[in-house]
Structure 1
Amino acid sequence: MPNNEQQPPKRRRQPESVSSHRRTEHKQAAKREEMHQVQAKKKRLRGCFFWFLLFFVGSLIFAGHYGYQKYQSAKKAANSIYHASKAQKVRDVESTLKEGKPIAILLLGTDTGALGRTFKGRTDTIIVAVLNPTKKKMTIVSLPRDAEVAVSGYEKYFPSKLNSAYEYGGSTTAVETVQKYLNIPIDFYATINMGGLETLIDAVGGVDVEPLLTFTYDNQSFTKGKKTHMNGKRALAYVRMRYDDPNGDYGRQARQRQVLTQVALKGASVSNLLNQKFLSTISKQMVTDLSFNDLLLLGTKYRVATHDMKTDSLQGQSQMINGSSFEVPTTEEKQRITDLLRSALGLKSAETGNTLSSSTEIDAEESE
């Protein structure tokens, strides 16, 4: 019998070309949507980057303006303390600094209160500091203020004390006398008001010092070997005590070297060179022939010299001459100090100086 049940109509099969076309359309649509999302994301990222860039540039402009103001303040303060020395420079100090060669700075300390700009009086502190950035070494030598000398240009007053050189003719005379006394070149000088040391130390945030002996002075007590943070008042008491020191003035010189070295280290940092309080204070307490650019070089290129510090002092014997007490080092002792400083400066060995000599030539030949 024939099957009378109605069969469901068979689904007509789509041609292969039509099916393939629709799949292609779906893929293209999905790809367009993906590209649209990518483009939208990129647009958002470009917007974020733009605002970040705008913020960054704005920050740079603000920081640049702020840094420029700091720079100008530092430069102004440096110009106010700059006072060229009339002393004949033995070397080309500008090229010496730029090439990073060892330099010698004569540090002169006066104690005349609020000094102003003339710095009258004698220098109770006389230190030769040599900075050698190549060897990362700093050599600091104290000279006795009562050392017997013939002051350069004032030989008719012989015998004179070394600390009178500044009184006779200022920094120029002091530099020329020390150069001739030891036969070493002095590249720069800095005169510091020891009376104003208190405010100067406070301006750099104090100094850390390990006392060389135990004593009490001006209501301040110190314990040998116990490192202590000193503010200006405390540090001033530490360097001023003299008569209770078993080494007398030589002991005081050693303590002065300690404190002044720490002040120099902190003062040479870029942060302090741009610190308004420090700049304002130092402009009242110091005079130097180091320009602002020179000071920046010291604070960057020469700061590595502080990694290793060696201190020493020229030792003399007390003698009464014409009714006055002088310190008279032996020729051997002077030669020892000359050798030490010339070696630190990278110079060839040479005989120590003689302030009574008619020659004004200073040997500055470099060692090979």
Structure 2
Amino acid sequence: MPEQKGNPKKLRSLKTWLLYTGIAFLFLIGIGVGYAVYLYDKTENTITESHEEVGRDNEISELRDGDVDPVEDNVSVLFLGVDANGEQGGDRRSDALLLATFNKEESSVKLLTIPRDSYVYIPEVDYYTKINHAFSYGEHRASIEAVESFLKVPVDYYVTMNFEGFVEVVDSLGGISFDVPYEMKESNSQNKKNTIHLYPGYQQVNGEEALALARTRKYDSDIARGKRQQEILKEVTNKATSASSVFKLEDLIVAVGSNMNTNLSFAEMRSFLSYGLDEKFSIEKINLDGDGDYMEDGIWYYHVEENSREKTQRKLRNHLDLEALSDIDHLVEDRDSTED
């Protein structure tokens, strides 16, 4: 069979589109590049099997006036990296939270990393705790409600990916190259302590090692951890969209689909291709400023600065072309009014 060659210009556009977004957008890789290797049917079936609704009234955010369509509207997607086995054998929690807003007219994305230890109100249980706990209380639905309450930004769609999926994705690509910042010992995806041992320096890492790098935070800070995750995921997407990975896409699609849940349909996912094919497409990475400390319960929390939260709220709502915060406070005031 002759070697398949893609359109170089389109492949460069797709690579630019996926750059910096990492595992959060891997579910789109199989759709965008899959056409070139005739994996359309396999991709569609995989995505269909992964489909799961949020479970809210009419499947519409309370912060929306009606339905949205990613083909025509500005939309948001919440990406959740979840420990499939539970942290140290306990409840499943979201170890990574990223909220992306897509603006059709500007052909741009704003990608916000939410620190997992952020102290926020969780509507599902009606009290404040770490935002990553929301998933253990009500999975993606509770996580969506917590993010909406915290940021007052509608979450239209979600994608969850478990750690096993991350490991399989990296391994399906033959590993990635990464500059390890320091010597480290970490648990693997099964929470077996000190099974991952890395030394500083630029090197090839496999799926388990890449996951350990993405998860560790005992050597620096939660913010540094978030930035490191973005760099790791950048390397993953660079490798996934390289010419050398074209014939690994089938394994990549299987790795993503079998470890993912989303309320996006296959047709809705395809609509995001319009961003990647636009030459003016851009991505802005956003982080929340703050600091952490131990509270009366003896647990360490990250406290987002109010000015940073309000600035982020305004930026994301403006990007979605929504009304000012003061006009929608009544929709979320009940969620934020109680603190135990």
> TM-score higher than 0.5 here?
yes
Amino acid at match of 1:190: V
Give the match for residue 182 of structure 2.
215
Match of 2:192 in 1: none
| Structure 2 CA distance for partners of 1:78 and 1:243, relative to 1, 3 Å | same
Question: Structure 1: which amino acid aligns with 2:81?
Answer: G
The residue aligned with 1:130 is 101
1:159-200 superposed Cα distances (whole Å, 9 cap, x missing partner) = 222111111111111111111211101111111112431211
- 1:58-113 Cα deviation digits (max 9, x unpaired): xxxxxxxx9997322211111111111113523488743111x3321111111234
SS at 2:97 equivalent: strand
Cα distance in 2, alignment partners of residues 347 and 266 from structure 1: 36
CA deviation vs aligned residue, 1:231-266 (integer Å, no higher than 9, x gap): 534422431332222xx1111111223334565687
- Match among 327, 349, 352 for residue 302 of structure 2: 327
Alignment correspondent of 2:18: none
* Same amino acid, percent of matched pairs: 23
The reply to whether residue 190 of structure 1 matches residue 190 of structure 2 is no
Structure 2: stretches of 5+ with no match in the other structure: 1-34, 185-195
d(CA) in 1 for partners of 2:310, 2:287? 12
The residue aligned with 2:219 is: 244
Aligned partner of 1:98 in structure 2 is 71
Contact 1:140 1:257 in 2 (8 A): no
Q: Provide the aligned C-alpha RMSD in A.
A: 3.8
Whole-angstrom CA distance in 2 between matches of 1:288 and 1:126: 14
Q: Secondary structure at the match of 1:112?
A: coil
Equivalent runs, 1:212-361 vs 2, <5 Å: 214-217=181-184, 218-223=196-201, 231-245=206-220, 248-260=221-233, 263=236, 275-298=249-272, 300-304=273-277, 307-319=281-293, 320-350=295-325, 357-358=333-334
- Between the aligned partners of 2:78 and 2:39, the Cα distance in structure 1 is 28
Matched AA of 1:110:
V
Partner amino acid, structure 2, of 1:235: A
- Give the CA deviation at 1:290: 1.3
Report the 3-state secondary structure (helix = DSSP H, G, I; strand = E; otherwise coil) of the residue aligned with 2:52: coil
- Judge conservation of contact 1:114–1:196 (CA < 8 Å) in 2: no
Q: Higher strand share goes to which structure?
A: 2
Aligned amino acid, residue 83 of structure 2: D
Question: Is the CA contact 2:124–2:134 (under 8 Å) kept in the aligned structure 1?
Answer: no
Q: Which residue of 2 aligns with 1:107?
A: 79
1 or 2 for the larger relative contact order (CA 8 Å, sep ≥6)? 2
CA distance in 2, matches of 1:164, 1:206: 30
1:107-139 superposed Cα distances (whole Å, 9 cap, x missing partner): 111123499xxx961112111122334323322
Q: 1:287 to 1:315 in 2, by over 3 A?
A: same
Whichever residue aligns with residue 358 of structure 1, its letter is D
Distance 1:273 1:353, change over 3 A: farther
Matching residue within 140, 151, 174 for 2:122? 151
Residues 103 and 187 of structure 1 are in contact (CA less than 8 Å); yes or no, is this contact kept in structure 2? yes
- In structure 2, how many angstroms separate the alpha carbons of the residues matched to 1:262 and 1:92? 38
1:268 Cα deviation from its structure 2 partner: 9.1
Q: Match of 2:143, SS?
A: helix
Name the aligned partner's letter for residue 303 of structure 2. Answer: V
CA distance in 2, matches of 1:194, 1:252: 16
Distance apart, 1:272 and its partner CA = 7.3
The separation in 2 between residues aligned to 1:165 and 1:239, in whole angstroms, is 21
Partner Cα distance (1:354, 1:333) in 2: 21
Structure 1: gaps spanning 5 or more residues: 1-65, 361-368
Q: Please give the alpha-carbon distance, in whole angstroms, between the structure 1 residues aligned to 2:199 and 2:267.
A: 40
TM-score in terms of structure 1 length:
0.64
